[in-house]
Chains A and B, each alone.
Chain A
Amino acid sequence: MASDMAHLRGKTACIGAAAWGCGEQPGWSSLEIMGQNARLALADAGLTIADVDGVWAATAVHAMPSMSLAEHLGIVPKYSSGSNIGGSSFMSHVLDAAVHLDAGLIDVALIAYGSNQRTQGGFRSASEPVPFEAQYDVRLPINAYALAAARYMHEFGATREHLAEVAVAARGWAGHNPEAFTRDPITVDDVLGARMISDPLGKLDCCLVTDGGGALVMVRADRAADHAKPVYLLGAGMAHDHRMISEMPDLTTTCAVQAGQRAFAMAGLGPRDMNTVQLYDAFTINTILFLEDLGFCKKGEGKDFVAGGHIAPGGGLPVNTNGGGLSCVHPGMYGLFVLIEAIRQCRGAAPGLQIPDATVSLAHGNGGVLSSQVTTIWGTADAL
């Protein structure tokens, strides 16, 4: 059996997506936000709650989220999973769903998320205090990303200006997206002048804290063909090599290397084939590391790759076209929104700037402290 899972290429597709309650949704529970998104994504797919027989969910507040969601919807799934590997959980759920659909274990997969963290008091992590680190009052996740950023700057001569370019580009995209939470233009100087939180990361190097939810509906390709705009899963791959930042072998190289290689191998495509690139940008350093690790540029060159507006609107590579976690939405776990933007671009239905003729998009998830890395590649029927 091929280890690259190439047989899964194009066998399943997303036929429904929703992102509801993003920004501020006061008075709504995380479960209610997740449930509303499930209903909206099913309606978008032309299906009903009763059609769902596979459920995936991960949140920061539910111990058994797929059971909570299935109960809330009133369904009895044949398979469900609340596997949580952090913000990239939803990319791993996509891969899980594809395997289960392809094996015939289920017919309709629902993947959902919901959070009310902004209106309920701020960022809330599902993480336990980590052994051998917690005693030092380590602030997670930000200290971990700051340590990676500092090491990257040391090894490759990057500066805070390079990091700031990522934030400015993200805000540039957000400025065109009515769904984005922060849309006012910012400059490199704004980023450098923002309050320092964990050196070298200031406030504008960090993702938003918003409410929000999302959902995806996936089916096998034969059923997807009846739908107006199916977006096919062409590739997926994952890897993780640590849980705690002190166990990460090299702070400037993530497991996006292996995850990306696996996803590209399954899709039979490479970085140059991607019309849009959606990356989990919890902090500015993420975008630079993932562009390198996924092969869009060489290690150490990401700092120059993002300079001069190259990943901003009108630049050479459309990256995080919704405004990203930095400027669009980040309700604790952002992975599902990365997927939704990639899928919307392929449908020609981006809420902000639509990339003309986007037939293939990459959605890369990150979880923990640069820990779990899961890459997915999506395409229209033309890309099959």
Chain B
Amino acid sequence: MGPEAQFKQHLADGKFMILRSASTGAFVFYPRPFIPGTGEDDLEWVEAKGTGTVYSTTVNRRSPEKGGTFNVCLIDLDEGVRMLSRVVGMTPEDVSIGLKVRAKIEDLNGEPAVVWEAA
């Protein structure tokens, strides 16, 4: 199983795991078999701290019939990597850059996903 499938398996098991190089301590997201740019392949899964900061945010103005507005954002994890995700539990318009957030696992489109809520 490759890193993408392993990541999804961890999520299905209720864990938000990210990859880290044993020799350099560098984290990588999205998961892949080596550290991009430098190539270290001594990667190990570690549980993410689950804390981060909103780097940027937008609101998709979807019509109510199609499900209504929702947030799309970029989260800087405290480990120093970034992911695209969604802030839930608050009005999409109120999500602001710099907001401290905490991760949780929620079903999204039929599969578990990492989403974030205000810390």
Contacts and interface: CB of A to CB of B under 8 A. Distances in A.
A246 B74 CA distance: 7
Interface residues of A, number: 27
A195, A246, A247 interface centre (most CB from chain B within 10 Å): A246
B58 A146 contact: yes
Given A151-B56, A197-B61, A246-B74, A133 B84 contact: yes
A53 B70 CA distance: 50
Given A135-B108, A199-B93, A244-B84, A147 B30 contact: no
Interface in A133-157: 133, 135-139, 143, 146-148, 150-151, 154
A147 B83 contact: no
A154 B53 CA distance: 14
Contact of A245 (B4, B61, B84, B97): B84
A253 B86 CA distance: 23
Nearest to B82: A246
Contact of A138 (B30, B57, B84, B93): B84
Interface string B41-67: 000000000000001111111000000
B84 A198 contact: no
B17 interface: no
Interface string B91-106: 0010001100000000
Interface residues of B, number: 25
Nearest to A146: B58
A147 B58 contact: yes
Contact of A143 (B72, B93, B111): B72
B9 interface: no
A136 B57 contact: no
B83 A199 contact: no
Contacts of A244: 84
Nearest to B98: A154
A251 B76 CA distance: 13
B52 to A, nearest CB: 13
Interface of A: 131-133, 135-139, 143, 146-148, 150-151, 154, 195-201, 244-247, 251
